[in-house]
A and B are shown apart, each in its own frame.
Chain A
Amino acid sequence: MTNLEDSLAELRPARAPEALWRRIQTGKLADRRWPSLRRDALSIAAALLLVVALYFILLPSPEPVPAALGPQGSPEELLRELKAVRHKIVIESNRDGNWDLWVMNADGSNPVNLTKTPDIDELYPKVSPDGTKICFCADEGKGEEKVRNLYLMDADGGKRTKVADNSREPCWSADGTKIAFLHGEFDKFSYSDFATRGIFIYDLASGQIRQHPNKKIEHLYTLNWTPDGKWFVATVHGGMGFKHGILALEAEGDGVFDLNLGGCRPDLSPDGRQVAWGHGDYAIGVADLDFSSNPPRATNVHNVVESKDPMETYHVDWSPDGKYVAFSYGPKHQGKNLRGLLPEFPGVEAPGWNTAVADVSKKNTFVQVTNDGKSCKEPDWMFVK
């Protein structure tokens, strides 16, 4: 192919709307459209009516009208609410030239460095469902020797043990007895989170690791495990015949299904009935999941957070009670010095990025819980009894 053909082929056709599929499911043919002239005349009439209607709507009203756009709740109220939440949040942050894992209260207060290892970069924390352990990645070694390994430690930072070499993107089984993770695609270190090949499952009791039966799995990241243990949900980037998307993968089979959610980095709600994800770079989407349908599908897609350029939203994570989502919030990277490396990749500097928490029940109601902008990202909620 020529450069032009390659360049064109990279463009992905816009998604056909779900509403159209629903129209098809009714079994009715499309209504015959009116001739253009008539349609145009009607459009003009409708626009005039709309202007008139807007005139009356915008007249001062004796009753206050709630804003249709903008936050439905106040950040200050949310912050006060978060002070009473007992669960904590763990993040990766580079506060002193080295990446460490920090735990803090839900409102961001009382941050504590759990790792304090000047020669090792700890990243991508995933707290066990009971809140007692943390699985995480550690970038160890320098230059050509650098490697990203997987570790486990107690929630207070003690008793560190290695889970697997050259591995990343872990997630827990709902009963906390197993950790699923992705193996690095190459021996050579890569920051690209999708440089993975194969899902592996670590049994905490036996220390044994087994590979997922589907050996063709590649280029996944942000792995999740459904509470019933039957499905994995992850992002794919250029693998298994998919360009980019969020997939549902059978935990014990070869089935791989596109959930048709535009975006990346999903996180399952504690009951497994919903998914939150980065719906583009500037929104956090939430959808209902239906694994009983064939194929599994996501419905009722809506955004709970909508940001504006240049402030991006990434790394969403549900709170243990399903009321909140934590996420990374920071400016789009400008300049070329991070060419190929993006601030949303674990372990890549993200100047100005902070951790924020949103109330899932109220659109666009969120508050930053860190404020130093020291690459505070990849939040994961920690259950506290």
Chain B
Amino acid sequence: MEQTLLMDSVLIEQLWRRHADRLLLYATTVLSDRGAAEDVLQNVFVRLMASPSEGLDSEAGYLFRAVRNEALNVIRSRRLATRAVSPLFDEVALDPRTSAELAERGRQVEKVLLRISAEEREAVVLKIWGDFSIPEAAVIAGISEKTFEHRYYRGLAALREKLGDLDHDEP
């Protein structure tokens, strides 16, 4: 269903609250640079405020595509060094044990996520944390579903190999 985004400040803030965390994760993993990723989000949202966008298939899809395009422009305009990034994941959990487990898991995933290929990383981030279906994510990445699926499962396999026991249930 097509929808029109009325770009008043309230709606922009609602978009921000709904999507900013995962957009930032996505941009950070594309750029490997948290500061540059924040700049990308800033530019995308500022432009959104300035120019209404109509006829969007989905607000999330639109925002991810916009962030991707902006991030690619950044990559094209200069060489980015792979930099230490702020934690990609929160460790918020109800209880301390889960919180500690999530923190450790987050550190491990972050470490290996930034080591797999950029294309596979993007596929994994879009599917898992972007929460898109394979067809939706393929559109954002600008590739065919088949290619996306291939990258995604190769990315998972690479993560599985590097993460090891994360793939097992607790005893």
Contacts and interface: CB of A to CB of B under 8 A. Distances in A.
A257 B115 CA distance: 37
B134 interface: no
Given A13-B24, A36-B79, A24 B45 contact: yes
Given A14-B21, A16-B21, A33-B39, A344 B95 contact: yes
B86 A27 contact: no
Q: What is the interface residue range for chain A against chain B?
A: 35 or more
A237 B168 contact: no
A9 B124 CA distance: 10
Interface stretch (A102-110, A111-119, A260-268, A369-377): A260-268
A381 B164 CA distance: 49
Contacts of A344: 95
Interface string B124-165: 100011000000000000000000000000001001100100
A17 B41 CA distance: 11
A295 B17 contact: yes
A7 B167 CA distance: 7
A35 interface: yes
A28 B46 CA distance: 7
Contacts of B49: 24, 27
Interface string B16-29: 11001111110000
A372 to B, nearest CB: 22
A344 B168 CA distance: 28
B41 A16 contact: yes
Given A15-B90, A281-B99, A4 B45 contact: no
A359 interface: no
Nearest to B87: A14
A9 B90 CA distance: 12
Interface in A1-38: 2-5, 7-17, 20-21, 23-25, 27-31, 33, 35-36
Contacts of A9: 128-129
